[in-house]
Amino acid sequence: MNATPENNQQTGDRIYELIASQFSWAPLAVLYQFLKSLDTQEYMPMLTALIEKANLNDKANKQVKAWEQERINPSRTRVIVKLINHTDLDFEIGGHSLQLNADEQHATQILPWDIQAWKFDLAYSRRLGSRSKDMFKHSMVFGDEEFGFRFDFGLRVNTSFGVISPTLTPVRTHTLTSIGTNPIQCTTRITRTASEEPYGFTVELTLS
């Protein structure tokens, strides 16, 4: 039985979707259109942009991995942030509650289609036998009244006292909120956590 043009189209579409699903650094719709146009020169700018995006993603991933593997002061919680901007918008930092030192890397501007990684080493202080405590709560605001977003993150250590020793439970908070008059789709997820004090973690932010 010969395949109909409609069946061939459906099979091709499934192949495009399968290939595109393997890439997390670009929107599936963009990759789908690129794959369909490989036999033309029309989408060469798209190919160039995707290659640049892939390079940015590789660079950010290497930086995140290096920071995760570094040994740090046990009185500091390392928070690593990877941001992926899937929009053609640029954002300048409008304000933050952090007290940054020279060793910490953070954003000053986010460019269109940008991928960046930042690290923060935040004070962690818990005395033996102390009760539940908020170690830190911070916020960062980017953009303007039209297009903007806010990133809030923090760490709380809950303590429950048993017969032999207390049980510590870290609670990591991370929210990404669109705050401009024109909404931006914002998602956030934790990609790595440390199981022991000072409970560092890595969070990934995505704008689309």
Predicted confidence (pLDDT) per residue in 54-79, tens digit: 888 999 999 999 999 998 899 999 99
Instruction: Give the domain ranges of the chain.
Output: 71-207
- How is residue 9 annotated by DSSP? H
1: pLDDT confidence band, cut at 50, 70 and 90? very low
Residue bearing the bigger pLDDT, 37 or 116: 116
For residue 158, pLDDT over 80 is answered with yes
Q: Which of 28-37, 50-59, 92-101, 123-132 has the lowest mean pLDDT?
A: 28-37
Whether the link from the prior residue into 27 is cis, omega within 30° of 0, is no
How large is the average pLDDT for residues 141-147?
Answer: 94
d(CA 25, CA 113) in angstroms, rounded, equals 10
Residue 101: predicted pLDDT = 66
Q: What is the mean pLDDT of the chain?
A: 83
Q: What counts of helices (H) and strands (E) characterise the chain?
A: 3, 9
> Which amino acid appears at position 164 of this protein?
I
Q: Are 68 and 203 in contact (CB under 8 A)?
A: no
Q: Are 132 and 167 in contact (CB under 8 A)?
A: no
How large is the average pLDDT for residues 4-29?
Answer: 59
DSSP 28-86: HHHHHHHHHTTTSSTTHHHHHHHHHHHHHHHHHHHHHHHHHHS---TTEEEEEEEEEE-
Residue 139: predicted pLDDT = 93
Q: Are 142 and 93 in contact (CB under 8 A)?
A: yes
Please report which helix (H) or strand (E) contains residue 7, including its range: helix 5-20
Two tokens at 60?
Answer: 């950010």
How large is the average pLDDT for residues 181-186?
Answer: 95
* CATH hierarchy code of domain 71-207: 2.60.270
Predicted confidence (pLDDT) per residue in 88-123, tens digit: 999 998 888 787 665 655 677 899 999 999 999 999
For residue 15, pLDDT over 70 is answered with no
